[in-house]
Chains A and B, each alone.
Chain A
């Protein structure tokens, strides 16, 4: 029996390859992301261990908030972010067992070209930015201690005021020269500097692509913090002193607002926060891998069904010769197992390629990874084989059961294995699945936390299965409608295609189902994205009264000196300027973000609608959104406790409430309250209102001029600001769509597979058509039109399901944030339908060619 299975398997190499392909792509995607995450994890962990390998103890300001961890995006280490006084260095150095202790200074610093001298008659321009804008721009103090991860590579270390060194990666990439005059934008504004050397970071050229600038320690303190301040203190132990011993000795001399950590703890903290970050990145990517596998399962199931339909006589003969049902079933299962194993093996190899590709993709976005081989964990291999073979086996289960039902008598008759499934059962099970899926999705969106993703994902899978189950019931009428223009436009050929697409509803449906999944997800995100984008336009537009918004973009969105706001206030024709600062705090025990603003002119720049109380931002007053007030069951006039990272608990009284406002957020406090609790007093956004509409151009050019010393900042009017925010949504949508393309490609392979098998099945029929005069070209058109109809049918189903998903997603998001409304992107979705038609044309190329090459005589003469 096994030999028969193998024989029939190898006799159909093409079909084997095509059905294995679905598995190869799916497994490849999943393993690729695993390999990539493992690789990233190891290289970064190596890097971090390398950086802190000589650190025995680190001293930093303690945070009053639990679970702040290391914030990778700003490059700052954990703790409250409050600086450590340099005066602490002396007592620490005096502790016995301390071999060396150095202050670390780290902050935001953007490397730019020297600004060009102003040209008469031309508006002044900002200097071009040299730092990698896809990574946080970091400035540090250079010290030659063994504790520093910086190693001079060429030139000299920065020694005189105004000297800087940059990382080797940026130096090479931007083709800088030693001795070159450059500039650096920091929170203190723009400073002229001279490039004197380059360095390596640990053993790599730079820190994952981020541009690093090293200053002399006094320059670093002046530009990045304040003179006499340090970010933290790193201590190296004398020989024979353990990290823990040294930690307890230092802890005894350090004031209680500072904490001491051992080198091991620091490395672990970094690794943990990295694993957390990479974990969600990996989950995100893997989700697309599993979608691909799910799509692949439909294709495999369909392929096996068709192969069995074509082998009915062979199977019946086996049964007539005495093979039991079990043996027949097992032969199909063994076949699936082999396909699964072969597919998984190839998928594993393909996954390696995917990982390399994704790594290159990250590189293209400026995230340069430290050198190091690709990590192939045993777990990856295991996952590949498990998901590959299990998916194939599950997909082949139905066909295997049907194969076993072939009666021996079928060997004597020319019967076509027609599915004998009960219509009522199909309707019932399909509707049940669909209803369960919809319920799960709606439930999942209501659930908070990590379980939600699983519930929604399971619900989506159930909806897909439900629609796929019900689809054979509606495919005939729907394709009648879809095919109508073709049937009238292409005459008999069109009509033949339409009939072919309608004749086997199950087959058409499961082929279309694969495409449905891909298109449903793409259109769901399109509906969601469009709704969110429209909401952003409406809400950002509605929340602002200011004419101009001054802020940085991307990783340059770093706080800047309040001097700028002062400068802007002095400009003529400016009626109001408001500074916005953000802080993470806990309020009554839950995490929250507070916005600090200038009380004066607040309602001139923000469209803040009063709901209750007074807009009085004096002293320890606070305004909250009416939604928060209702959710927390607070009352106006009540006092709540805000816990700040640096200073701890402070009481704030709720003075009033405002209606939902995108920029104001949930909690608004006066700027003075922020300043009292945060050491680094920098602005994140400055809002400017012009005195009259006529003054707008003049005010804008004046702001532009004021921004010349701030190359990392931009001025935007309301429209531009809203458009930029909407563009970010487009970028995310673009990425998601690109990743979903994978599933759509697999679905297209499914159409190719089905059509090829159909052409083989219909050899005699096509031969007859050719005999009675169908031209080769007409034959190709016939197959092509059939493919288009199947693909468009899949597209129609996909759009229907996707519209629901998109609505549910938007609805859940709206409920969550009281933000947004439902908008339906008709044009975009129509384009998706056209795209699915094009996919049909592409999928038909090979099958159509095969069909047109059928030997007429052989096709009809074989009786």
Chain B
């Protein structure tokens, strides 16, 4: 009888079929056999980013700091060792602060730092002025249309920065698209000089970093409770006044976050000033490049990098401190 055969087949375990569901749950079985210590999940949540910071930021920074305190040497690698072991008992530690002192003496470095800070600050301001209305516009769109606008903001990231910079060069250069159009329209006789100017650098930096301003601003503005604006109107504020007294102060966290995201990388920007800037565009990123690749002065390049870090970290920490205080006071 077929019924009898079926029960018999079921009774005999087929090793291939029976083991299959068990292999899928190796992890579960492992968990049962090795009871994981409590709090491991928590530890991983904070441990992974901490480990990341240690391996990819603190260690490299330590290496850079070490190189900056060495002296230049014609060797492989091209700097002296800090710790000198005489082979028997004495280890001598030699710290060379000469590179840092030289940084202060030579006005080239100081004006390069000042130039970078200026370009970054002005670009941040323009990003804020252009990005704020964009973010506000997107935040006020109907919810279903916002993803489209955000996608348009992020779209430039889909091509490489270098390509986009070259596209700008094509637009701005002597016989580029813009000059050709203006001349053909008869608006100008001579081509405008746009490339290799500070203008081109600002344009490039603002264009590149604008999304970093728009996204955090949008995130804060989108969360803004609309009834607050109604309350302001109800209490006698015309729309522009309500914007100044309610929207603007409440979007401060977004403005701060966006400004930091633009300002910090803009200070160290190398590609845009190198490709679009003129010979007199002095920025610290270019100086660093020159020290490292042209002069092969690794300690000097490292010192430049360390000082740039300090210049950036101190204001950011002060700012965060101030923000925490306002957060505590509400």
Partners in one complex: no
